[in-house]
Structure 1
């Protein structure tokens, strides 16, 4: 797939493939395809502007670029079901991972001889001690320091079984933390994302209804009473009272006139405005909130 890199920071990179490069029905297919790689943490795919945001493990930037470069939509099957942003997949992955860790622990205690168990415990402790030393060298007293200190204390007392138990509990807590973070983000996305399919584009003649996927930055759209604002933009004409509770939590509506900003996810309670598109879905304020 052809693309250009529009954002490139450590462990976070955003690709822009073009406005018509990603059909909407392939968003979830592409997200699932990329997220199956072991070095990928999170993926966000937006058909509106052909954006692919990938958060990956340190040291795998080149592999992420190669993965997106080799992406071929023709080899993927569209997912036409109502999007749930991977909630079911997140739940399944958590249950599978928890079962795997638990069974591994049972096998370790029941069948591995003590000398080998001790050697494996010392080997597995390396990553915890390494993280603790790194944090301590940076003058940070955080959880990594406390974790490594507890493991070292067990080693000092030659209590390797306790050290193994501590690391088992740490792996469970890490799994729970990851699950909570990913599922919370998925639920937030599912509840806050805007599901508008079409908008009224203002032209020199009359307003024309177009798919939101064809909307470009700089276009002007007309939004009427009762409609959800589907983009971030600037009011260029008209006036309306807007409920911004989804953004600010304020229940009282706010008057919007020319040259004032409006945000995706807010609702026009009364009035009609023409809004110039400033940001599409992947860069909107509500996306940053999520």
Structure 2
């Protein structure tokens, strides 16, 4: 590959290889190939101008240049649209930025060239040709009985042409095209951001190989492979149930909250959540080809997911249009002056209102992704700005995302290792931070637990697991689950014993054949940033910070006191978590729920806004409205600030649009300024508002904190 170095900084190179050397697919392929080279951090390849932007370890400069020289221009690697993936998504956004810049440059240069090179009659003819599209769109809405912004734009353009003001019509169409490009660009970036965060997939899954469950990477799943999915899993693929039965939450696909029973022969879809049961599924569409990979457009354009301010802006913009026409005919009747009357057609409120708010909302969603958060709809940003209450799950949310086993107590002749091995062989199949802590401790001690056989698994959300190991019935879970639901005998003085052994730990009990075998104490300290984050949230106007947990009263009181929470609820069942959230909403609060486990999914679905942290269970991330891609609570502060600034920007837009355009209309009717000048200032102001709304709401430190957290 031949290239020249256009610019260079330590650890950063921009190379120019020649315009149109790459297709879009080859640009992606080259980028992937270079990112695989030692020392390369990022590689952006732009097809339009044939440039490559590389960031890398400074010591690897020569190796990086050698990797570029080693590319064969006649056999460049190609890659299709990648779907999901952080680095791939960053490349897609870079390509979209490049496309936007090229389109805007082309539009501006073409307008300048026409004014210099073409005679007036030819420019007028081209203006008429370009106006046909806008007029046709206006007629389409009018014939459908819709008096919308498109009708107003078409009328203004057609009237200008009829009056012989071709330059005026040309300016209007140019500015409309420019604003359209900007809106399309922001929409595309928001679309890419949604595609990055919409589909929840675990890094690995259990596949059935020669009758045994084997963990494989999700990206290695292929058609016809059989996967074994337990309760709490989010399906990574489309498939057909070949064994087992269960109830699936398909709300991510259908919007319906009711659980759907699935038995052999039933079709299941990626992105849906297995609430209960145990399924073996034959893959019909591997990751990247499943049905949910094609629903981002539906989500992006769903009116139910738009911010209320965005929906109101669109309705208001169209509602104003008839009044603009009434004002036009009224002024014409009174003044008998077409130029005065044209002021309300050439200068309107609708265009700016309809364009500015969606761009502001979509730009904020895109900015959220750059801050490490995916927001699944504009309405959730609006709700975040209005919220006054945050309900936190304790384990894995307010407390450490990676709890650790602190103590193992045996109540039989079994050793600590025997108790831990028994617990780990069950818990490795279930998605919860406590389960991960038990499995990690078994691995740390070098305990082997891969050969146990399980059947008739029954997972009771937030309580525990009932299964069979080696042909014997085993239960593992909370005290309530074992001693009340499963009828395990409770030894005398157990509560006092556990209070002495682990006063601030969560306790998981294990029983075999209805006999208590042991207890595992899991240390679950608050996150180091939790207290500071809670204080900052209070300063942002969130006055009611509450913790809700299934843990014991003593654990809940200890954490609540340490963090200074406004209240807490202990020993709460999943259905009761949802009831507590619903009660807060009924009391007039706007509630944000932050959770991480399968037991939090009912409450997450009940809140005005649900937030799942990066290490949350798959099912929590599947039902959440906001997905945090890092492990710090700092992102909650960032998102509250982003949402508040977004609403402030929208309200400021309204004030400016009404004030400035009213001034222009008044000046135009009074003949204080030419109608052409009023129209030009109106369209330029609309474009400036749209451009401003596409700029970041947060300063750089906010974004850097979001990335570093």
**TM range, smaller chain:** 0.5 to 0.7
Counterparts of residues 1-290 of structure 1 (less than 5 Å): 36=47, 72-73=76-77, 82-84=87-89, 86-87=92-93, 89-90=95-96, 94=100, 112=115, 116=119, 119-129=122-132, 151-290=157-296
* 1:237-266 alpha-carbon deviations (Å, 9 max, x no partner): 112222222112233433322222211011
**Structure 1 contact 193–265 (Cα < 8 Å) conserved:** yes
Decide whether aligned partners of structure 1 residues 115 and 254 sit closer, same or farther in structure 2, where only a CA change above 3 A counts.
closer
Structure 2's unaligned 5+ residue stretches are 1-28, 37-43, 50-73, 80-84, 297-709
* 1:253-285 alpha-carbon deviations (Å, 9 max, x no partner): 333222222110112222221001112234422
Structure 1's unaligned 5+ residue stretches are 1-21, 39-69
Decide whether aligned partners of structure 1 residues 245 and 177 sit closer, same or farther in structure 2, where only a CA change above 3 A counts.
same
Between the aligned partners of 2:272 and 2:75, the Cα distance in structure 1 is 35
**Structure 1 contact 128–147 (Cα < 8 Å) conserved:** no
Between the aligned partners of 2:157 and 2:223, the Cα distance in structure 1 is 54
Between the aligned partners of 1:207 and 1:234, the Cα distance in structure 2 is 18
Calculate the TM-score normalised by the size of structure 2.
0.27
Between the aligned partners of 2:164 and 2:123, the Cα distance in structure 1 is 14
**Structure 2 contact 201–235 (Cα < 8 Å) conserved:** no
* 1:132-186 alpha-carbon deviations (Å, 9 max, x no partner): 679989xx87999987775454333210221112211221242134224423321
* 1:4-49 alpha-carbon deviations (Å, 9 max, x no partner): xxxxxxxxxxxxxxxxxx9xx66x99xx86x8369xxxxxxxxxxx
Decide whether aligned partners of structure 1 residues 97 and 131 sit closer, same or farther in structure 2, where only a CA change above 3 A counts.
closer
Please give the secondary structure, in 1, of the residue aligned with 2:256.
Answer: coil
Decide whether aligned partners of structure 1 residues 267 and 71 sit closer, same or farther in structure 2, where only a CA change above 3 A counts.
farther
Please give the secondary structure, in 2, of the residue aligned with 1:167.
Answer: helix
**Structure 1 contact 264–286 (Cα < 8 Å) conserved:** yes
CA RMSD of aligned residues (A): 4.5
Calculate the TM-score normalised by the size of structure 1.
0.58
Please give the secondary structure, in 2, of the residue aligned with 1:227.
Answer: coil
Please give the secondary structure, in 1, of the residue aligned with 2:89.
Answer: coil
Per the TM alignment, residue 206 of structure 1 is displaced from its structure 2 partner at its CA by 1.2
**Structure 1 contact 121–163 (Cα < 8 Å) conserved:** no
Decide whether aligned partners of structure 1 residues 146 and 190 sit closer, same or farther in structure 2, where only a CA change above 3 A counts.
same
**Structure 2 contact 237–290 (Cα < 8 Å) conserved:** yes
Per the TM alignment, residue 286 of structure 1 is displaced from its structure 2 partner at its CA by 0.9
Between the aligned partners of 1:97 and 1:114, the Cα distance in structure 2 is 21
Decide whether aligned partners of structure 1 residues 116 and 212 sit closer, same or farther in structure 2, where only a CA change above 3 A counts.
same
**Structure 1 contact 247–266 (Cα < 8 Å) conserved:** yes
Between the aligned partners of 2:117 and 2:165, the Cα distance in structure 1 is 12
Between the aligned partners of 2:132 and 2:150, the Cα distance in structure 1 is 8
Between the aligned partners of 2:151 and 2:122, the Cα distance in structure 1 is 22
Between the aligned partners of 1:279 and 1:162, the Cα distance in structure 2 is 54
Per the TM alignment, residue 228 of structure 1 is displaced from its structure 2 partner at its CA by 1.6
| Higher-helix-fraction structure | 2
Decide whether aligned partners of structure 1 residues 160 and 284 sit closer, same or farther in structure 2, where only a CA change above 3 A counts.
same
Larger Rg: 2
Q: Give the aligned length.
A: 224
Per the TM alignment, residue 71 of structure 1 is displaced from its structure 2 partner at its CA by 6.4
Between the aligned partners of 1:74 and 1:96, the Cα distance in structure 2 is 22
* 1:61-107 alpha-carbon deviations (Å, 9 max, x no partner): xxxxxxxxx763289xxxx95443534554575477558757987x6
**Partner of residue 687, structure 2:** none
Between the aligned partners of 1:92 and 1:72, the Cα distance in structure 2 is 20
